[in-house]
Structure formats: structure tokens, C-alpha cells
Amino acid sequence: MKDFLQLNHFEEFSNPKVHKTLKLTSEDDIKNPSEYMSQLKTKVIDFDEVKKFYLKKHGMYEDNAKSVDALYKLNDRICMTEFKNGDFTSGEIIEKALSSALMFMDITGCSLSDFRKKSLFVLVYNEEEKKVDTRQLSAYYKAKRSKKRYSIFRIDHLWDFCFGEVAEIEKQEFDHSKYAKEISSY
């Protein structure tokens, strides 16, 4: 079996059409003009494109699955990142994360246990568009200081079941965070 951390060993991830910059995968093209939630030119895998390739290969329609925006290696882990510039529900985020994890595991042949040990999910949100209650933010920062888990958007269901780590980060902080600065090649 191929090492699932070696993304370039898999057809779906080595296809040049899926390689884009982090900036391009963060594009909100619903806004006019388009807005970007990251300015980084680091190459990543556009998982929306992987989803299209995967579904076509298996004879399924594009609306059969949801997907995260970006996939990349962060040191020795797989990172799936979703950029949300507007309003969203926790259910939408959970569906995208789980759907993407299932596709990834099918493509690579890795087990859920192995995936969980070597994966993380990052939600990047726009604080100006998605208002966060002050109590939620204070609970989040209190938990962060004490190294405890807390999910502002109630996506903590993903933690330990599917992903080894789940992070929520405001778009202004993302480009300078460890989730963007420590990207290794795929």
C-alpha cells in the first residue's frame, strides 16, 4: 500500500489541474469583485477539483458530495482547510469535512484510524461576516489558554472521531498562523 502522506503518489492529487495557490483556493467568487481569505502563494491541492475528478471517475454527479477548499501537508500531517467568507452552519462545515475525509481515505486506501492520527481540519472564517457571540469568544480563548478544547461553531464533533485536531481561525490571523506558515510540499 502507498504511504498516504505522499500525496504526489496518487493520481487525483498529482493532476496539475488540482494544484493552485492557497490564495486561489480561498477565493470567494460570490462577491463582486472576488475576495480572498488568504494572500499566500503557497501551492496546495484544490480539493474542490479533486472532488470533481473523483466523482466523475466513479460515475457520480457533482452534487453527490461536498468538499473542503484546500488539502496540503503540514509537517507530517494532512491538513484540510475550509474558507468561509459569509454565513454558514456547523452542519455545512461538518458535511464538507466528513465528505472530504471519506474521499481522501478512498483515494489513498488509508484507514480511519491512520487518517485520524495524521490529520487536522482548519476552518477559516470572516469575523465581519459571521458574527460570534462575546461569550463564545471568551470561552474559546479561556479554553485555548488552558489547552482545553472548545469550538466556537460547534464543529468539535469532528475531533477525535475523524480528525486528530480541529482549529477555527479568523481570516486576519490565518496567513500568520502555524496552519499556513508550516506547509510542506505535497
Q: Is the pLDDT confidence value at 36 over 80?
A: yes
Which tops the pLDDT comparison, 52 or 159?
A: 52
The better pLDDT of the pair 39, 1 is held by 39
CA angle, residues 39, 79, 159, in degrees to nearest 5: 125
Q: What is the pLDDT of residue 98?
A: 93
Q: Which residue has the cell 474559546?
A: 140
pLDDT at 150 over 60: no
The mean pLDDT value for 136-142 works out to 55
3-state secondary structure of 167: strand
- What SS3 string covers 76-87? CEEEEEEEECCC
Give domain limits for the chain. 7-184
User: At CB < 8 A and 24+ separation, what contacts does 110-116 make?
Assistant: 110/4, 112/162, 114/4, 115/4, 115/78, 115/162, 116/160, 116/161, 116/162, 116/163, 116/164
pTM of the model: 0.87
Distance CA 57, CA 64 (A): 13
Average pLDDT, stretch 1-5? 79
Q: Which residue has the higher pLDDT, 3 or 145?
A: 3
pLDDT in tens, 54-92: 999 999 988 889 999 999 999 889 999 999 998 888 889
pLDDT confidence bin for 184, thresholds 50/70/90: confident
- pLDDT at position 182: 83
